[in-house]
Amino acid sequence: MKYALVTGGSRGIGRAICVALAKEGYSVIVNYARNREAAEKTVEMIASEGGMAQLLQFNVASKEEVDNALDAWDNEHPGEYISVLVNNAGIRQDNLMIFMQDEQWNNVLETNLFGFFYVTRRVLKNMLTRRYGRIVNVTSLSGLTGLPGQTNYAASKAGLIGATRALAMEVAPRKVTVNCVAPGFIETDMTSDINQDEHKGRIPAGRFGKPAEVAAAVVFFAGENASYITGQVLSVNGGLYT
């Protein structure tokens, strides 16, 4: 059995990634923070198509929760390991820099960047021992170009890109690849407060993207055939930035 862990698999892009990886034959570990009902729905969607999935609750921003949950998973699955990790969990708490609260800065960095560190460090050990792994990090257009009101979010996502490039070099000899997918505007709960009509005019494709369109890029990097592609950032943004 090949296992794939998707952080933030309960909703939006993460859910679409879970469903797409299950279709590729992975047994999917659906992580979520608070929203158990939504996470269960992801598992049901996979099961209804004959796929395999299980829930694993933890807050990616908590080192203790990450280690405890993954230690428990390892104990329950002797001899098995997670060969695909998708660091998708993320939040945004926008504010102009002069009004930015410590809490807004810390929350976003802790979830989007520290979360990547805690989960990846823990899962990587087994990938290195087994000499195979695929790590895909969900960054953002904002991490490439910056967006006003998002100094915290842009810093976290740009940090993710730097970390991806460094780690890709570190682990390439052990046949572990590390890549980023950088979505533009995608229709999810995260963007439900954004007026699409105000923004879609500047997107060459003329519309917001769908979560499944991001998932397709993640599946590509996660595939065994993508073995010589590492340290890359693939934009999925309808041509908004290339």
Residues recognised as catalytic: 153
Q: Which is nearer to ligand NAP, 117 or 185 (CB)?
A: 185
Q: Which is nearer to ligand NAP, 88 or 177 (CB)?
A: 88
- How far apart (Å, rounded) are the C-alpha atoms in residues 144 and 168? 18
Phi then psi dihedrals of residue 239, to 5 deg: 90, 5
For ligand NAP, the binding residues (CB under 6 A) are: 7-8, 10-14, 31-35, 38, 59-61, 88-91, 111, 138, 140, 183, 185-186, 188-191
Between the alpha carbon of residue 123 and those of residues 85, 92, 103, 107, 156, the distances in Å are 8, 25, 28, 23, 21
Q: How far is the CB of 183 from ligand NAP (least distance, A)?
A: 4
Q: Which is nearer to ligand NAP, 8 or 159 (CB)?
A: 8
Q: How far is the CB of 18 from ligand NAP (least distance, A)?
A: 10
Sheet of 233-236, strands arranged across: 52-57, 27-32, 3-6, 82-87, 133-138, 176-183, 233-236
Q: How far is the CB of 104 from ligand NAP (least distance, A)?
A: 14
Q: How far is the CB of 9 from ligand NAP (least distance, A)?
A: 6
For residues 10 and 38, the answer to whether their CB atoms sit within 8 Å is yes
Q: Which is nearer to ligand NAP, 132 or 186 (CB)?
A: 186
For residues 168 and 148, the answer to whether their CB atoms sit within 8 Å is no
